[in-house]
Amino acid sequence: MTAAQTLTRVFLKRPAADPEAKAQEFEAAALPHLNDLFRTATRLVGSSTEAEDIVQETYLLAWKSFDRFEPGTNCRAWLFTIMFNAVHHYRRSWFDRRVTGETAEVLEETLSSDVLSALKGIPPEFRAVVLLADVQEFSYKEIAQILRVPMGTVMSRLSRGRALLRATLSDVARSYGLQKAAQEGTRGA
């Protein structure tokens, strides 16, 4: 049974003209973005298990409101908006429960641990913008829509986030013998 069939069977509350067509349309529009959502959620929450829960919640919410999705619009940006709302909800509930001591799992082997630790060291509002712009390659306008902030705020947070990363990573660059990059990192911050 495919994910779309499971979603159709479990969550379809009112019969549509063709539930199978709706499920196929949802699957075609939303499922190609699963890996991007999972990678970003993992970076935002620091745990692949929690990221799986957030992505599952994202797809559940997307399925429930798929009738309101306008075909031809940016499904990826729509899913990221839903995911960021789910992350905010997760963080609120996390603080309410006061859960501590969770261990972070390895996020991706392609990124060095130094870069990941530097990324974790910047404030969440800057981290989210840096991830969306530099990793997921969203435009400023799309990021502003996803995070529901003005475009100027996106540009400011991206600039500050990159400056914080540059400053944090200047010692790493120096250790690899990249003196010019290390010097620029300390001057720009």
Determine the pLDDT at residue 107. 31
Is the pLDDT score of 118 beyond 50? yes
**Spatial distance between the Cα atoms of 54 and 83, rounded to a whole number of angstroms:** 7
User: Minimum mean pLDDT among 30-34, 50-54, 106-110, 112-116: which range?
Assistant: 106-110
Q: Which two tokens stand for residue 144?
A: 């502003």
CATH of the structural domain 1-107, one choice from 1.10.3720.10, 1.10.1740.10, 3.60.60.10, 3.40.50.300: 1.10.1740.10
The closest alpha carbon to 140, from 157, 127, 123, 119, belongs to 157
Residue 50: CB atoms within 10 Å: 18
Tens-place pLDDT, residues 52-70 = 999 999 999 998 888 888 8
The answer, yes or no, to whether residue 176 has pLDDT greater than 90, is no
Instruction: Find out whether 57 and 79 touch, Cβ atoms under 8 Å.
Output: no
Weakest mean pLDDT among 42-51, 59-68, 88-97 = 88-97
Q: What is the CATH number that goes with domain 111-189?
A: 1.10.10.10
Give the start-to-end residue ranges of the domains of the chain: 1-107, 111-189
Full-model pTM? 0.49
pLDDT of residue 96: 45
